[in-house]
Amino acid sequence: MTGTKILTDRLKLRLIELSDLDSIHNLHSLTETDEYNALGIPKNIRETKSIIEPWIAENQLPEIKNYTFAIDNKSNEKFIGLFGLKLGNKKYKRAEVWYKIHSDYWKKGYATESLKAVINFGFETLELHRIEAGCAVENIGSIKVLEKAGMVREGLLRQVLPLKTGWSDNFEYSILETDKRKNN
């Protein structure tokens, strides 16, 4: 499945490669993008490499279970961020999404555009039934992205995210293949 790409009006989502290491390290090193992320800031580029090497290996399997996409601006090929789609047990036709956008590109609609495209990919190409996401209750930006893309808040997980500020509650969201999707 190598070569998988998702295109939108402004973006190209493509499977990450080792050549993305510097861009990914820069993204993971930003305090702004780390605020609601449990991964933490890497100590050095070697640590980032050790994080992404399994992602790259997964992307090269004949049957991908964890897609990790680089988000590029189509007009200038600049790296904007990362998007993940983790498939669950085949029987349940379910997946979880996550994303991390460089703070230079916040509030421009890129996360929402990416999420809508990955939702369509999940339902139309992968034939999923349900796509899920979670976010820290104080992460207003991600809450807006999930809701703009048509995901429904289903519940709250108490103190499940180990953030650097302490344990955070997490909102759980989902969208079903039968739900009306927002394409604009």
Q: Which residue type is seen at 137?
A: V
- What's the confidence (pLDDT) of residue 180? 83
- Phi and psi dihedrals of 90, rounded to 5? -55, -40
Q: Taking a C-beta distance cutoff of 8 angstroms, is the pair 157, 134 a contact?
A: yes
Nearest to 67 by CA among 132, 1, 128, 130: 1
Amino acid present at 65: K
Domains delineated in the chain: 5-132 (3.40.630.30)
Per-residue pLDDT of the chain (184 residues; tens, 9 = 90+): 446 899 999 999 999 999 999 999 999 999 998 888 888 899 999 999 999 999 999 998 888 999 999 999 999 999 999 999 999 999 999 999 999 999 999 999 999 999 999 999 999 999 999 999 999 999 999 999 999 999 999 999 999 989 988 999 999 999 999 998 776 5
Nearest alpha carbon to residue 176 among 143, 152, 155: 152
pLDDT at 1: 40
**pLDDT value, residue 3:** 65
- Tokens for 155, please give them: 């519940």
